[in-house]
Structure 1
Amino acid sequence: MAAVVIAASALLTAPAQATARHGGYLALGDSVAFGYRPNAGAAYLNAANFSGYAEKYAALRGLRVANASCPGETTGSLLVVTAPSNGCENGYRLAYPLHVSYAGAQIDYAVQYLRTHRDTRLVTLTIGANDMFLCQNTTPDHCTGPDFQVALNQVSRNLAAILSAVRAVYRGDLALVSYYSLDYRDPTQVAQVKALDSALIQVTRRFHGKVADGFTAFLLASLRTGGDPCAAGLLVKLPTGGCDVHPSAAGHRALAAALAFAH
């Protein structure tokens, strides 16, 4: 635990300095991995305007990052482009560029990248939250009853398919960057995030992957504000007050610290 605190503190307060560790780094996932910010206007027209934990970690380690993530991606749409997403295939990709350009599903790009970039040192993944958002929006109980477990089970099956495809062509380091709570003072929300993370972690470990503990990284970084990541500056501030669900630059540094500790 002390090592996590030290790593988080260092990356939250100091600029990243690249080490001599060249190679490829493939980042997969959703808007968290993308570095998405809401209300960014014309910035959406250039994906280089968005930088998240993947870019920060790549700079720290001297890696060349290919970030294939897409805002709104679900575990299903990452596998099959026609599967329901929360605004990736049916929204963001239609209007704006991603960090890397590809047709079809994100997993297809990932497999092709790994086949052609044998110097890849790391694959990271943040995925699953949008599945739960869809569950909240499409089920009668808003994903608070039995449908919550149904959704978790589907996430686990899809993640297993994703990691199976990755492991078929890549045997190197693999890391899940787990989700954080938006409010550690809310026991219901904390329990839901921990349940999702637990499901993701179980599958990741089956495929010999590591876990970058985003949940604990945000918890530690928000202790000074009583467990409020918004007040701690870890989430994007909204002009109307409060915070969005996406990490701020400080939040991404906390996630990069968790990744540095795990890898």
Structure 2
Amino acid sequence: MKRSIALSAVLAVAGFTAAPAAFAGADNSHASSGTYVALGDSLAAGYQPGLGDDKDGGYVGGVYANLRDKYRGAKLVNLACSGETSTGMIADGRCTYPDGQSQLEAAVDLIRSQKGKVRLITLNIGANDVQRCVKGGAVDMPCVQAGLTAVARNLPQITTALRAAGGAQTQIVVLNYYNPFLAAWAAGNPQLAQLSTMLQGQLNVSISYAAKAADAKVADVATAFRSNDWSLQPNGLPTNVAMICGYTWMCSKGDIHANDMGYALMADTVTPLVHGPKRPAAPSVS
């Protein structure tokens, strides 16, 4: 039996709601053990409907817990901005940072000030460039193409700036995206669900290219959410649709954000890509 959801709720463009930016992080006096810098939009900010941002939670909190196991005393600085686009991350964004900086400028200054102590940077950005183009069960294709063009232009600039600031020793992991608009299938609009799959693929290709440009790793959230798996579950939902209904708020509240299980799955996708401190070479035996 198909899970029933209101079409208007599913197809509403629930933008990554803006919230004031803050240098959120866990207090820790052992700064020399390294820093984890989280960047991006509301997914990085840990947003959930009715609760707002949780910059020490979400997938970032899960990744941070793992990092502290590897680097004792590591601290978290989360500069993510709910509602941000790739263009706004570079300049004139939605959130306020010191001295009128953009999120990227604030991140670069922070990373440089740490002088090689930033162990990890995670980044997810780009969804807000295109998700606003889905309205009323239809896709504004010129809007989508403009958004994809912006992502393809901006993301390499962002990732290469972060790499230049952090140097070769800083790990950078860029997350791609699950597809919340698969929920349209359960609302009786399979055409939109199929089209959104194609557009999600284009967005994630741009993310992959940008990561490669900066020698960064890609956390394949799309695959973790089984985005291209249309096999039917016993309840009649395709697997990819069932994942969106189970791991995000899209089917229950018409909200694109991950729930606790979804954020945990995202963290589990990032965690295997993060390596611990290099062990000293074993002494040679002559």
TM-score (norm 1): 0.72
Residue of structure 1 in register with 2:22 after alignment = none
Tell me if structure 2 keeps the 8 A contact 1:132–1:143: no
Aligned CA distance change for structure 1 residues 65 and 50 (closer, same or farther; 3 Å): closer
Q: CA deviation at 1:258?
A: 0.8
Counterparts of 2:264 and 2:78 in 1: how far apart (Å)? 17
Residue of structure 1 in register with 2:91 after alignment = 80
Q: CA RMSD in A?
A: 2.7
Tell me if structure 1 keeps the 8 A contact 2:45–2:54: no
In structure 2, what residue type is equivalent to 1:168? A
Give structure 2 stretches of 5+ with no counterpart: 1-32, 69-73, 186-192, 275-286
Q: 1:125 aligns with which of 117, 123, 126?
A: 123
Q: CA deviation at 1:136?
A: 4.8
In structure 1, what residue type is equivalent to 2:67? R
Give structure 1 stretches of 5+ with no counterpart: 1-21, 83-87, 94-100
Aligned CA distance change for structure 1 residues 181 and 120 (closer, same or farther; 3 Å): same
Tell me if structure 1 keeps the 8 A contact 2:250–2:257: no
Q: CA deviation at 1:217?
A: 1.0
Aligned CA distance change for structure 1 residues 244 and 134 (closer, same or farther; 3 Å): closer
Residue aligned with 1:247, SS? coil
In structure 1, what residue type is equivalent to 2:243? P
Q: CA deviation at 1:236?
A: 2.9
Q: CA deviation at 1:135?
A: 4.4
Q: 2:109 aligns with which of 102, 108, 112?
A: 112
Map 1:22-171 onto structure 2 (within 5 A). Answer: 22-40=33-51, 44=52, 48=54, 51-62=57-68, 63-81=74-92, 88-89=94-95, 102=98, 103-117=100-114, 118-136=116-134, 142-144=139-141, 146-171=142-167
Map 1:186-197 onto structure 2 (within 5 A). Answer: 186-197=193-204
Aligned CA distance change for structure 1 residues 57 and 108 (closer, same or farther; 3 Å): same
Based on CA coordinates, which of the two structures has the bigger radius of gyration?
Answer: 2
User: Alignment length, in residue pairs?
Assistant: 215
Tell me if structure 1 keeps the 8 A contact 2:55–2:61: no
Q: CA deviation at 1:108?
A: 1.2
Q: CA deviation at 1:213?
A: 0.4
For the pair 1:261 / 2:272, whether they are aligned, the reply is yes
Counterparts of 1:50 and 1:162 in 2: how far apart (Å)? 23
Residue of structure 1 in register with 2:212 after alignment = 205
Tell me if structure 2 keeps the 8 A contact 1:26–1:124: yes
Residue of structure 1 in register with 2:20 after alignment = none
Counterparts of 2:143 and 2:250 in 1: how far apart (Å)? 31
Counterparts of 2:249 and 2:253 in 1: how far apart (Å)? 9
Residue aligned with 2:44, SS? helix
In structure 1, what residue type is equivalent to 2:249? V
Aligned CA distance change for structure 1 residues 219 and 142 (closer, same or farther; 3 Å): closer
In structure 2, what residue type is equivalent to 1:205? K
Aligned CA distance change for structure 1 residues 256 and 49 (closer, same or farther; 3 Å): closer
For the pair 1:231 / 2:245, whether they are aligned, the reply is yes
Residue of structure 2 in register with 1:252 after alignment = 263
Identity of aligned residues (%): 27
Q: CA deviation at 1:202?
A: 1.1
Please list the CA deviations of residues 65-117 of structure 1 after superposition, one character each: whole Å capped at 9, or x if unmatched: 211001000011101025xxxxx34xxx6xxxxxxx64421011101110112
In structure 1, what residue type is equivalent to 2:207? L
